Amino acid sequence: MTSLTAFILGAFAMAGLVWLIKRFFGFPAQSPKDYTGHGPTFDIRTQLNGAMLCDGIIYGPTGRVSSRFTAKFDATWDGNTGRMHEHFNYDSGTVQDREWQLTVDDTGKITAKADDLIGDGTGTQAGSGVKLSYRIKLPDSAGGHVLDVTDWMYLLDNGTIVNRSQFRKFGFKVGELVATMRPADNASQAKEAA
């Protein structure tokens, strides 16, 4: 066997191993069916409704925290169609607003629109999990990059939602977000009880 043939076979073997790892292990391997029948039922029309508070961190490409934020959300629904306004305050002093237009059909399929999305986002709610995938264009102040985003939201028994998102460019992970979201009235009740 020539060294070129060995190199090519090694490259194919490595590509196959990477595909197997991505397909069966880690964040990208999740499927909505993994959460069917486990935990509370997550219906975004109920859980992402009204005033909400959010706290989160963003990890950069090196895995280190690159930004922290707090946010206030306000969502309203008319049947299967909703609007959610998000107001973010970042530790850098930057403020960002986004409004989502969300539609859910009877099978749990989600369509999402926002001004900074390229095309529509698509997703699924199943069991205690919600998956949403979309392409986003970052503001010019953040480089103006176009990223592929996968959001996973998980509903906890107390109504808190844990959100984990990965941002990819050309298939490579360039960032990750972890945040909690909870109804604003639950947060004020917890503060009063403390």
**Most confidently modeled range among 12-21, 38-47, 48-57:** 48-57
**What is the domain partition of the chain in residue ranges?**
1-30, 38-193
Give me the pLDDT at residue 20, please.
Answer: 56
* pLDDT tens column, 130-176: 999 999 998 887 788 899 999 999 999 999 999 999 999 998 899 99
Give me the pLDDT at residue 51, please.
Answer: 97
| Residues whose CB falls within 8 Å of the CB of residue 54, separated by 6 or more in sequence, listed in order | 69, 70, 71, 72, 73, 86, 163, 179, 180, 181, 182
**Residue 51 C-beta-side C-alpha neighbours within 13 Å:** 5
Band of the pLDDT at 81, cuts 50, 70, 90? very high
Band of the pLDDT at 193, cuts 50, 70, 90? very low
Band of the pLDDT at 18, cuts 50, 70, 90? low
Q: Inform me whether the pLDDT recorded for 192 exceeds 70.
A: no
Cβ-contact 122, 112 below 8 angstroms: yes
Considering the entire predicted model, what is its pTM?
0.80
* pLDDT tens column, 29-50: 677 777 777 788 999 999 999 9
Cβ-contact 54, 84 below 8 angstroms: no
Give me the pLDDT at residue 29, please.
Answer: 64
* pLDDT tens column, 88-129: 999 999 999 999 999 999 899 999 999 999 999 999 998 889
Residue 35 burial (CB count, 10 A): 22
Cβ-contact 184, 51 below 8 angstroms: yes
**CATH architecture of the domain with residue range 38-193:** Beta Barrel (2.40)
Q: What is the CA radius of gyration of the chain?
A: 19
Average pLDDT of the chain is 87
